[in-house]
Amino acid sequence: MLTGISTSAAAAAAVLPCTLLVSSSRFSPLTSSLFPPRKISIQNSTFPANSRQPHMFTTPMSWLGKLGLGFGNRASEITMDSSSSAIAQGPDDDVPAPGQQFAQFGAGCFWGVELAFQRVPGVKKTEVGYSQGHIHNPTYNDICTGTTNHSEIVRVQYDPKECGYENLLDMFWSRHDPTTLNRQGNDVGTQYRSGIYYYTPEQEKAARESLEKQQQLLNRKIVTEILPAKKFYRAEEYHQQYLEKGGRFGFKQSAGKGCNDPIRCYG
């Protein structure tokens, strides 16, 4: 039971896509920073929890956005305009540095996933953003309405001479539960779905073979989608390297290559 909030507020919280993480002693939205969120474990699973607190605590955006409210006129502008959709559904036409390749992964909240990939030897650059949706130039508020079909993506730029694509796949599987549909821990919504988005036929083949191997290790069906990489929209700057920069509490986490320190998803 939630305490310290009104009946109407509790009703609103009940429909938030992200479940409130409640302190065992007391809870108040105004004093939430006093109670760092607890890590959660997915029942019958050893996968890490890649879930963030409600966005009313973690970003400048209003939590009303998760209800489709508080966006002014913007929410009504999120439509299936054919020209906008054609651009958004086009291929990622960015070009990696010479001798390097791109890879895209969606595995829940992109903060912890990005830090995991930053630590992989041979990874030269990571960016978080949005892809696979139907509107051009989406904002974080837009994707939180649940109407744009975008996924939170980490785009990895790596040197294939130093890091095989299979190494990236291994990290991808280790960072989330691929058997939960449109959900990772407390984060619920299509933007948190599991996905591998390939740039080449070789990546597609490796991804499908890797999924088959993973399925043999699990007793639940994997729901990871494997699709061509589409246009990548870089997320707002405060999302980039969020945990390395310190997260909400300013506790910087190492992005050093080979670092195996536990990843605290909220700093």
Catalytic amino acids?
109
Nearest CA among 139, 69, 126 for reference residue 244: 126
DSSP string, 34-89: GSPPPP---TT----------HHHHSSS-GGGGGT-S-TTHHHH----HHHHHHHT
The span from the CA of 209 to the CA of 214, in Å, is: 9
Cα–Cα distances in angstroms (integers) from residue 179 to residues 113, 176, 207, 219, 225, in the given order? 17, 9, 16, 9, 11
Indicate if the alpha-carbon torsion angle 13, 22, 262, 239 is positive or negative: positive
Query: Are residues 146 and 188 in contact, defined by beta-carbon separation less than 8 angstroms?
Result: no
How many Å from the N-terminal Cα to the C-terminal Cα in the chain? 26
Q: What's the token pair of residue 265? A: 């998803």
